Structure formats: C-alpha cells, structure tokens
Structure 1
Amino acid sequence: MTWAFVVLLLAGVLAACGGGGDSGSESADSAARAPAATSGDRDAGAGSAERAPEGAGEGAGAGAGPGAEKPRAPLTAAREVVHTASLRVRAEDVNASAAKAKQLVTGAGGYVERESSRTEPPRSEITLKIPADRYGELLNTLGTQLGTKLSLSQEAEDVTGEVADVAARVRSAEASLASFRKLYERADSIDEIIRLENEISERESDLEALQAREKSLKNRTQFATVTVTLVSKDAPKEPEDDSRGGFLGGLESGWDAFTAFVGGVAMVFGWLLPFLLTAAVLGLPVLAFLRRRRGRVSTVAPAAGGSGPRPEQDKPEQQEAAGPSGG
C-alpha cells in the first residue's frame, strides 16, 4: 500500500506539471498570435489609409498629433458697408474745381446726386455717388487735386445683417405669393377667388416694398456718398472750436446764458413798449376822469345827508318825552 500511495502521488505530480506546461504553451501561442494580429491590423489600417482620399488622410493626421497644426477656419463672407464722407476744399476757381470733381466721378462710373452753388462769395456744394471699390482712391484724388483740403470726415455703417434680413424676407414673400397664386388657379368658388385676390394683392404690395428697400440698400452699399464743399480764398474761415471746461468754462457758459436771458427780456419789453405807451395815453385820462367823478360823489353825499330828516336820532328823544307822561 505504501508503494501504491507513492505511485499515485507521482502520477498526480506529473499530471499537474503536464497541465501547467500545456497552459503555458497555449498562453505563449496566444501571445505570439496577438502581435501577429496587431501587425495585421496595422497593415490593414495602412492599406485603408492609402486607399482613403488624400484630404481625409491629412485631416486624420492633423487631428491625431497633439502638436499638429489646427485646420484653418473658413473665410468670412464679405461685409456690406455704407460709406459716407464730407470734404471741404478751398479752391482758386470754384467753378473749375466743381467741373473737375464731376468729371473725375463720372469717369470712374459714379454720378452727381445733387449740386448747389452761389456766386457771392463763390461756393459750390456737390453730392457725389462714387463706386465703393474706388471710394478711397477717388476721395484722395478729390482732396488733393481740387485745391487745399480744409476738413474731411468719414463714416462707415455696417448693414450686412439688414441686407441679409431683407433678402430673406424677399424670398419668403416671393414663395408665399407663388403659393397663393397656385391656390388661386385651383379656386372653384367666387368667395374663395375674391379672398385669394385680396391676399395676392397684399402680398404683391409687401413684396414691392421689400424689393424697393433691397434696391435702396444695394445702391447704398455699391456707391459711397461724398459731399464736396468748394469755397473760394476770400470766403471767411470757419470758427475754431475753443470750448473750455472746468470753472472758467462753466463761468463763460453761465455768463452767455445770463446775457441771452437779459437780451430776451429786453426784446420782450421792446416788443411790448408800443402797446404799453398806447395804453398809458388812452388810460390815464380815463383814470383821472374816474377819480374826479368819485371825489365829487363823495363831497355831495354828506351835504345831502345833513339836510334830510334823521328818524333814527328822533326816536330816542320822542321816547324820553313820552316816558314821563306815560308814567
């Protein structure tokens, strides 16, 4: 039995060693297959990357690396800007400079919107419409070739949102009008036809108003407005702005307000003076006459009262006289 027990123990140990060797060999085989599969996946990924479009490969590579260059943002749409400028020029010959300004603008594709001029002293004011793409160039030319530039002010208004909103509303109005016209074609009753005609007329008026607004915006963005004022050398210079602040500025403003108030009161008094004099000339004699008449009435009243009977004073005397006799 001792030998049998030893044999069984040896058999168990050998069986355990054999199972561990098999499991170790299996894990080794799986480990060997795993790198092979990984390399196969890499080869497949490389093949798919080669087959992918060139742009897709670049995008994937850019997003993979931490230090890779970020993709560029798309360019923004062009802005719709309304340009306005006011230019004041001192010219030797106002008429010649005005003709030259109009010639420069019309030659560049613009036009003259409004013009006013006078002879004494010579002065001309021209409102010009200049193509937006040549606005800066022509503004510089007008400021240098017409004479001596005295002042220049410019403004720019971004109306991109308004232009997009009006365009969207125009498209919506057109689609709505087209829908109503289709319904009008399929209408089969008089009431429905009349209702659809009214709706179509309202939609058409709204669409025309939106189209007019869109056209105005388009004209404002395509053409810059430049107002050129031409003055002669003999024209007086514009007063400079010498406004001051602080105590002296407040004192000066207060004095100006006080003098303006006094001047206004004097003007009102001067306006009323003729009426006051007329009232005095006509009213004083009437007032004197009324006073004299009141004095006469006051002197005549006591005299008339003294000659008349005084019943109130006689009654006590009569009572006193009748008292003893009655007793």
Structure 2
Amino acid sequence: MHERGTTKLIAAALLAGALLAGCGADSSDSGGNASQAEPAVGRADAPAAEEGTAGQGKAEADSAGANTTAEAPDLRVDQRSIIYTGSITVRVDNVTTAAAQATGIASAAGGFVGSDERQSGSGADTANLTLRIPAAEFSSVVDQLSKLGVEETRGINTEDVTEEVVDLDARISVQKARVESGKKLLAQANSLDDLVMLEREVATREADLASLEAKKRRLSDLTSLSTITVVLLDPDATSAAPDDEPPGFLAGLSGGWDALKASLAVLATVLGALLPWLIALGIPAAVAVYLIRRYRRRQLPPPAESN
C-alpha cells in the first residue's frame, strides 16, 4: 500500500511538471508571436505614412507652383511698358547738312530713319524726318536734335501699355494651351465628322493665337523703339504755327474771299476739262443741225400767190 501510494505521488508530480512545461511553452510561443507581430504592424504602417507624406509634399508643391503661376507681374517703373513719341521743330542754317546730322544721331543711338521728306525751292528748304530710336536713348536724342539749330517747338507724349502687355501675355498662354488640347483631340478623332469639326476648331484657335501674337509684336515694336518727328526749317522758311489773328469782320471777309477764289478756281478747272469735249462734239452737232434745217426748208412747198 505504501509503495502504491508512493507511485501515485510520483506520477502526480510528473503530470504536474508536464503541465507546467506545456503552459510555459505556450506562453513563450505567444510572447514570441506577439513580438514578431508588432514589427509587422510597424512595417505595414510605414508605407502608408510615407505615402501620406509624399502626397502632402506633392500637394504643397502643386500649391507652390500655383502660387508661382498666379504671382503678380513686376510693375515697377523701370519694368513698365511705355510708348514714347515726340516731335521737334528746329530752324537751321542749312537743311541738307542738318538732315544728315540728324540721321547720324539716330544711327549712333542704334536707331534708323523711318521716313525722309524734303522740299526745296522758292528760296525756302524744309525737311521732315521720322526717326525710330531705342526707348532708352529717347531723351538724349531729343536733346541732341535741339542743338542742330534754334529750337522752335517741342512735344513729347508717353503712353503706358503695361496692362495691355500683361493681358496679351496671359491670353497668349491660354490660347496656346487651347491649341495644344485641340491638336490632342484631333489625333484621337475616330470619325470623319469629328475630324472635320476638330480641324476647323484647331484652325480657328491657331488664327486667334496668331492675331494675339501679332498684337504683342506691334506693342513690343512701339515700346522698344520710340518715334521722333523732326522738322527742319531754313532761315527763310515759314513756320507751320497757326495764325493768331482774332476773328472778326475782316477775318470773315478774308475767309469769304478765299472761298470765292477757290470756287472760281474749281469752276475754271471744270470748264477747262469740258472745253475739248465741247469743241469735239459741239461743232459737228451744230453743222448737223444746220444741214437738217436747210434740207427741211427745201422740202417745204413754195407759198401760194395771192390774187
């Protein structure tokens, strides 16, 4: 009995040890799996976090690009687009020499002569030059031209076209994008009707773009090259200044007399133009009328004699 009891105790102790060993292994395996699962979760969350960061960075970059595109243009005084035009009248000793000097001044400033009109005779010579000068040299050239002789009149005008230039730049950019999108749609056309319609639309957009670019070139030409009209008069030439005589009876009488002379001159011109036709047609017509009347007189019976 004693041995049997001892055997039962040993068996119970072994069973308890086995049970304790199994529980420890399960606990160890559970802890190991938990420790391995945590890094897996961390690795799964890392790409999502990186993707979110990348998306946020892209959004910020797009926002920065949009802000850069929408940034207001530089409108400082030295960056504005201004058209300069001027005119100057100078009385000189020799018109031909002064005109050559004016041409040299324009060439030295990097410009050129747009037109050259000269009149001579009756003891009075005049020259009318149109100079195209770089805008940066405008004031300097005007001052040099005034020193060719005695300056009589000067006029300078400026026109700020900055807003027009900025507007044209924006419209040209938009129109270019429209042309490109139209060409992409044209390349994807699947039917003849779509092809014809898209070709017409692309042609219209290209024509609008060409018109905008032509306006931009015109403004660029006017802003980059200023225009100066130079009038050169010799000492005997009369100035083109308006007459300052006050209006009155004598002024009205003079104006009426001038109008009458002009009307008589027009009438004389008309008569002079018609006289050859009157001679060429009137004489044969008069001869024909005379012959017809003579013929009719011969055909008439003689008058009867009275008893």
Alignment partner, residue 31 of structure 1: none
Pick aligned residue for 2:165 from 145, 163, 166: 163
Shift of 1:138: 2.3
Residues 289, 81 of structure 1: alpha-carbon distance in 2 compared, 3 angstrom cutoff: same
Q: Secondary structure at the match of 2:238?
A: coil
Distance, in Å, in 1 between the alignment partners of 2:279 and 2:106 is: 64
Structure 2 residue corresponding to 1:225, chosen from 199, 224, 227: 227
1:18-37 paired onto structure 2 within 5 Å = none
Partner of 2:211: 209
Shift in CA distance, 126/292, structure 1 to aligned 2, threshold 3 Å: closer
1:89 correspondence with 2:102: no
Shift of 1:120: 5.1
Aligned residue for 1:205, secondary structure, equals helix
The TM-score, its normalising length taken from structure 2, stands at: 0.58
Q: Secondary structure at the match of 1:254?
A: helix
Q: Which has the larger radius of gyration?
A: 1
**How many aligned residue pairs are there?**
227
TM-score scaled to structure 1, two decimals? 0.55
1:115–1:124 contact (8 Å) kept in structure 2: no
**In the alignment, structure 1 residue 133 sits paired with structure 2 residue 175:** no
| Structure 2: gaps (5+ residues) | 1-73
1:111 has 2:111 as partner: yes
Contact (CA 8 Å) 2:103, 2:113: kept in 1 or not? no
RMSD: 3.7
Q: Distance in 1 between matches of 2:281 and 2:104?
A: 67
Matched residues in 2 for 1:102 and 1:263: separation? 41
1:181-196 → structure 2 map (5 Å cutoff): 181-184=183-186, 187=188, 189-191=190-192, 192-193=194-195, 195-196=197-198
What whole-Å deviation, never above 9, does each CA across 1:117-141 have from its counterpart, x for those lacking one? 6695665543222232332232122
> Using a 3 Å threshold, how does the CA distance of structure 1 residues 293 and 97 change in structure 2: closer, same or farther?
closer
Query: Do the aligned partners of residues 298 and 132 (structure 1) sit closer, same or farther apart at CA in structure 2, a change above 3 Å counting?
Result: same
Contact 1:112 1:126 in 2 (8 A): no
Counterparts in 2 of 1:157 and 1:107: CA distance versus 1, 3 Å: same
Check the 8 A contact 1:94/1:124 in 2, yes or no.
Answer: yes
User: Which letter does structure 2 place at the counterpart of 1:211?
Assistant: E
1:80–1:221 contact (8 Å) kept in structure 2: yes
Please state how far the C-alpha of 1:292 moved relative to its aligned partner.
Answer: 4.5
Which runs of 5 or more structure 1 residues have no equivalent in the other structure?
Answer: 1-74, 307-327
Q: Which amino acid aligns with 2:84?
A: H
Q: Is the 8 A contact 1:91 1:97 kept in 2?
A: yes
Contact 1:90–1:230 (8 Å) recurs in 2: yes
Measured in 2, the distance between the counterparts of 1:244 and 1:155 equals 29
Provide the C-alpha distance between the structure 1 equivalents of 2:268 and 2:238, rounded to a whole number of angstroms: 32
